[in-house]
Amino acid sequence: MENRKSEMGVMFRGLRKDREVGQNEAILYFDVIKAPTDMSTMDAKLESGQYKDSSVFKADFGLTTNEAKTYNMAICPFDQAIRHCIHSGAVEAPTRDDPPL
């Protein structure tokens, strides 16, 4: 897992923000997204060894991208990046069986 941890870290280092989005920056975000996560949280979990296998990392990444898709309009560039990740197989598309946000 240590080698995989390194690969996963390199994969999203450029995607993560150095801080969480504040309430004033994303009005209504916390009304829409009930249990938010972000790349900084994922980075901290990765660095502290909380990801025991890549499936948990992949699930968190999927949750993060699903939250972005839910909050942002479909024409948003980040939404296009999410769609690319889904189509390339990097993350799984959310299904109706996924828990609500």
pLDDT per residue as tens, the chain (101 positions): 455 444 444 444 444 544 555 656 666 777 777 888 888 889 899 999 999 988 999 999 999 888 887 877 544 677 677 778 888 888 777 776 766 65
At the topology level, CATH places domain 2-88 in Histone Acetyltransferase; Chain A (1.20.920)
**Domain coordinates of the chain in residue numbers?**
2-88
- Tell me the whole-structure pTM to 2 decimals: 0.51
| CA 37 vs CA 2, 20, 54, 88: distances in Å | 23, 9, 17, 23
